[in-house]
Each structure stands twice: as C-alpha cells, then as structure tokens.
C-alpha cells in the first residue's frame, strides 16, 4: 500500500487518510477507518455548531470576545500617558478630542492610514476623547515578554506571542497590497464582497474544477509544499508563485518564472482554495470564502480579529503549519471523495462572512473596541500642537 501520512492537521486529525494511488482497492483497512473517523468528526462538529449570534447580529457580538481578550492585559493598571509615550515609538499617534480626529504629521504608509481614518472619521462623532497608537506595519510590536515595559499598540494581526490590540485592517477600505490587478491596492471590501458574490454564482459547485488553487507571492516559505505539489500533480493542484515588490529573480518564485496574477473573482472556478499566512495574516482569507468554494486554511498562529469566530471543520478545513506535500494531497483527495461535506463546509464559510463580516460589522468592531479601550485611559486627553487634524472629505464639503 502506498500510504502517505497526514499527521495531526489538528490534534485529533487522523494520521493517514489515503495514498497516492487513487484506486479504492489500494486503500488499507487502516486508511478507510481513519477516513471514516474524520467523516464522523466533521459531521458531529457540523451538527453541534451553534451560530455565534441570534438574528441580524446588529452588535457584532460574534467578535466581542476578541476585544475583551486583547484589552485584558491593561484592565488592572489602565493606560497612562507615560505608556503611550513609549508606544508612540512603534506606531502612528492618533487623538480623538471634542469629536475631531488628530494624527502625527507623518504616517509611514499613507494609504494604510487613510484606510484606517475612513473608519475613525465615520465614528468620531460618537467617540469620547482618547489617545491611541496605531501600528501600520504588518508585524505586531508588543511581544508578551515585554508587555509590562510597553504601552498598548493597535495592530491588524498578531500571534499569541504578542499583546497588540487587533483592529480591523486598513484594507477593508484602502491601502491593501497593490498588485497589477488592483493597482490602487486591495481595499473596498464592500465592493469586493458584491463582485465576488456575483462571480461565485457564475460557476456552480458541480462545475467548479475539483482541484486545489493558490496564487500569491512567496511571502512565507510555508507555501512551498503546495507549489511543489502543483508541479508534480497538476491534476490535483494549481498553485503558483507570483511576483511581489521584493522579487529579483526566479529564485524568489522557487526557481520558476513568476505566474500571472489571478483576480479573486477567478478563484471561484476552483473547488478548493488555499490560504496561508504571509508576513503576518494574509488579506486573502476573507475573500476566498465568498467564492463558495472550500477554504483550506494552513496554520493557526497568525490571526486577524475575525478569525476566532470562524470554526475549523465548520467554516473551513484546518491544516497544520508547514504541511508536507503528501499531507496536502491526502486532505484534497479526502474531500474529493466526500463532496457533500466539502459543499456543506463551504456554504457555512460563505454564510459566515456574508452575515458577520459586513461593513457594518467592521464599523461596529472599531466602535466597540475604541469605547472599551477609552475606559482604560487614566489621564486627561489634551490638545497637542504637533498633531494635525485629519478631516473627512465629507466634512470639508459641508
Ligand atoms: N493576490 C491576488 N491574485 C494573485 C496574487 C495575489 O488576488 O494572483 C492577492 C492575495 O490574495 C493577497 C494579496 O494579493 O490578498 C497579496 O498576496 P501575496 O501572496 O503577495 O501576499 P500575502 O499578503 O498573501 O502574504
């Protein structure tokens, strides 16, 4: 038997599901048993899943725990002016005072700041006075070990080794990576939601190509195994590296010429879509769900605020970090054999993003987060000359 290990995609994941040889006869008794166990496990999780909120989720309840957890390290001591002075070295200072928004003159990534300011300006009339420091880099800034010596910093993504407070990334409005297909940067989640939902309708589930798909640059070598598998088994996976700004030679695309970029809408023609971390969490994930394809999410270290409400095996297929080509092959073939389960998980995933990652949820999260954060501030927020006012176009027009 050509058996290939599929070791611990999560703790209870079967060790082997199926070998390279696709014929039923070549499957060992053990493999069949393990596959059956996984089927049972998924069915049970799907049956037991209870939605995170009732009705229309007007209060972004599904994500509320994240705010509580991220602010916990500051609950007892609060946030002092001194703490924020230290934080200011690692990000951009913002101030809300008398329902106006102020910022450091310089922002390291202006497009990212404008993606953030879109939300802050929308909310400023409803927010009390506060000072905050927002990190616009990809990488979080407050390692757990340094927690006591650092003040709070807002970052879009982190692992459990950081104490940064997660905020909804700029890319929900503007400032996402600029690739040839999105030259002004990936943003406008409201518009992409609509166009992706429409694209998804163009290819029915049965018309989708039953293979894995990935397009992206080599921001993490965790993606290599899938790319290499695609080169060996193009009948099972189409995964290729594209260029990013750092590209210098084919070495940066794992010794191949860079592939043409593929827009999100065209991902919907494939049944199994892969997501990996990049430098931090990848903005790709939320888009993949809207295709109504099955999302394979590799690794669980890097998170954005909405990841925690997505449940493995219910909304997506979890795959352990750095899977081997054999492990990837096994899990794809498992879902090729269990198409009903694949379809059910894909529908749950899409519905979750449609219901709980609306623009109103992003605004609601920002508002709840800042209202809770403001309660921790232990000093009087005062005007500072070195900050400049950020005005919304809408206000200027008035
Ligand atoms: N992207 C895309 N089509 C491509 C390549 C990339 O839509 O052909 C998107 C991708 O989904 C992600 C962004 O561009 O949202 C940057 O992708 P990349 O893989 O370069 O970096 P990541 O942010 O995933 O680490």
Q: Beta strand 100-104 with 387-390: parallel, antiparallel or unpaired?
A: antiparallel
Cβ < 6 Å from ligand 1: which residues?
177, 179, 186, 215-217, 219, 242, 244, 261-264, 278-279, 282-284
Q: What is the mean pLDDT of each run of 10 residues along the chain (398 residues)?
A: 38 41 56 88 97 89 97 95 96 98 96 97 98 98 85 97 98 95 94 95 98 98 98 98 96 98 97 98 98 98 98 98 96 97 98 97 98 98 98 61
Distance of CA 45 to the CA centre of its chain: 22
Spatial separation of the C-alpha atoms in residues 54 and 76, rounded to whole Å: 32
What is the CA(278)–ligand 1 centre distance, in A? 9
Residue nearest to atom 10 of ligand 1 (CA): 284
Spatial separation of the C-alpha atoms in residues 31 and 15, rounded to whole Å: 9
Candidate from 242, 284, 287 with most ligand 1 atoms within 8 A of CB, to mutate: 284
Looking up tokens 């990809």 gives 138
Spatial separation of the C-alpha atoms in residues 120 and 103, rounded to whole Å: 11
Residue nearest to atom 6 of ligand 1 (CA): 216
Interface ipTM above 0.95: yes
Cα-Cα-Cα-Cα dihedral sign, residues 93, 151, 378, 305: positive
What is the CA(243)–ligand 1 centre distance, in A? 10
Please answer whether residues 374 and 128 qualify as being in contact, where contact means their C-beta atoms are separated by less than 8 angstroms: yes
Write 245-252 long-range contacts (CB < 8 A, 24+).
Answer: 247/217, 252/217, 252/218
- Of 176, 72, 67, residue with least CA distance to 118: 176
What tens digit of pLDDT does each residue of 239-273 get?
A: 999 999 999 999 999 999 999 999 999 999 999 99
Please answer whether residues 115 and 172 qualify as being in contact, where contact means their C-beta atoms are separated by less than 8 angstroms: yes
What tens digit of pLDDT does each residue of 219-244 get?
A: 999 999 999 999 999 999 999 999 99
Spatial separation of the C-alpha atoms in residues 73 and 164, rounded to whole Å: 10
Q: What positions carry a catalytic annotation? A: 138
What is residue 55's predicted lDDT score, i.e. its pLDDT?
A: 80
Looking up tokens 């430098």 gives 279
Q: State which H helix or E strand residue 195 sits in.
A: helix 189-202
What is the CA(211)–ligand 1 centre distance, in A? 19
What is the CA(89)–ligand 1 centre distance, in A? 29
| Ligand 1 atom at minimum distance from 287 CA | 11
Residue 77: both structure tokens together: 């001591």
What is the CA(132)–ligand 1 centre distance, in A? 30
Residue nearest to atom 4 of ligand 1 (CA): 261
What is residue 26's predicted lDDT score, i.e. its pLDDT?
A: 56
What tens digit of pLDDT does each residue of 321-340 get?
A: 999 999 999 999 999 999 99
- Of 339, 348, 343, 323, residue with least CA distance to 214: 323
Residue nearest to atom 16 of ligand 1 (CA): 177
């Amino acid at each position: 038997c050509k058996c290939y290990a599929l070791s611990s995609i999560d703790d209870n994941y079967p060790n082997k599901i199926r070998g390279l040889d696709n014929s039923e006869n070549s499957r060992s008794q053990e493999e069949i048993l393990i596959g059956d166990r996984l089927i049972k496990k998924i069915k049970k999780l799907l049956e037991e899943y209870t939605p995170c909120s009732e009705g229309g989720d007007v209060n972004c309840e599904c994500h509320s725990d994240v705010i509580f957890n991220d602010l916990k390290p500051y609950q007892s001591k609060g946030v002092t002016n001194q703490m924020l002075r230290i934080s200011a070295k690692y990000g951009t200072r913002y101030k809300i005072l008398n329902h106006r928004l102020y910022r450091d003159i310089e922002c390291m990534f202006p497009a990212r700041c404008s993606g953030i300011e879109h939300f802050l300006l929308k909310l400023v009339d409803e927010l009390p006075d506060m000072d905050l420091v927002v990190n616009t880099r990809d990488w979080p800034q407050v390692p757990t070990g340094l927690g006591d010596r650092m003040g709070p910093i807002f970052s879009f993504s982190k692992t459990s080794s950081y104490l940064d407070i997660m905020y909804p990334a700029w890319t929900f409005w503007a400032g996402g990576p600029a690739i040839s297909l999105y030259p002004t940067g990936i943003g406008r989640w409201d518009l992409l939601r609509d166009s992706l939902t429409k694209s998804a309708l163009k290819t029915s589930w049965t018309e989708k190509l039953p293979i894995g798909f990935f397009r992206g640059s080599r921001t993490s070598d965790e993606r290599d195994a899938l790319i290499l598998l695609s080169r060996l088994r193009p009948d099972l996976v189409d995964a290729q590296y594209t260029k990013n700004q750092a590209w210098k030679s084919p070495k940066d695309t794992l010794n191949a010429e860079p592939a043409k970029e593929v827009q999100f809408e065209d991902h919907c023609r494939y049944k199994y879509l892969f997501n990996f971390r990049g430098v931090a969490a990848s903005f790709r994930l939320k888009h993949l769900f809207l295709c109504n394809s099955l999302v394979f999410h590799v690794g669980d270290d890097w998170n954005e605020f909405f990841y925690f409400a997505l449940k493995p095996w219910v909304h997506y297929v979890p795959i352990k970090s750095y899977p081997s080509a054999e492990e990837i092959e096994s899990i794809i073939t498992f879902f090729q054999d269990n198409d009903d389960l694949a379809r059910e998980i894909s529908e749950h995933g899409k519905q979750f993003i449609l219901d709980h990652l609306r623009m109103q949820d992003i605004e609601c999260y920002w508002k709840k987060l800042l209202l809770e954060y403001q309660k921790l501030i232990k000093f009087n927020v005062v005007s500072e000359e070195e900050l400049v006012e950020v005005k919304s176009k809408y206000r200027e027009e008035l």
